[in-house]
Amino acid sequence: MAKSTKRWLWIVATIAVVATLVVLYYIFDPGSSHLAPKCPMKLLTGFDCPSCGVQRAFHNVLHGNLVAAFLVNPFLWLCLPYLLLVLYAALFSTPRAQRVKRLVFHEYTIYFFLALYFIWWVVRNTPLWLNFVADIG
């Protein structure tokens, strides 16, 4: 199979998976549905991991509740542009995509997001953050 055909198959498969997830998360509320996967870290420790709330945030965005989506996991909104650039760099091979690939896969960029990930992990489990969310929500 030609290289460009494989790439287009990956693009079509990615679009199909994303479209399916959008429909499922629009229909089912992950906060109350038993079908949604639960966070193993939260189940084991009782603490939120940095990614906890992503499903609920996505559900809130699909229903137009942007403030609720932000409060569930603000770290998602910081990482979303980066993740979209990673996806773009992985799926396309244009000169622009190659420049993006060098940036998003640069070791300092990866270290930066890993540091933010662990900082958010600590901050979101502190009483200061939990009280802030309780006061806003």
Structure tokens that stand for 114 in this block: 């890993």
Residues 6+ apart with CB under 8 A from 79: 113, 116
How is residue 46 annotated by DSSP? S
- pLDDT tens across 110-136, in order? 999 999 999 999 988 888 877 777 777
What are the residues whose beta carbons fall under 8 Å from the beta carbon of 118, sequence distance 6 or more?
A: 50
Decide: pTM greater than 0.85. no
Q: What is the pLDDT of residues 10-43, one digit of tens each?
A: 888 888 988 888 787 777 777 777 777 788 888 8
Rounded-to-integer distance, Cα 55 and Cα 62, Å: 11
**What's the token pair of residue 131?**
């009280």
Q: What is the mean pLDDT of the chain?
A: 85
For residue 1, what pLDDT is reported?
Answer: 64
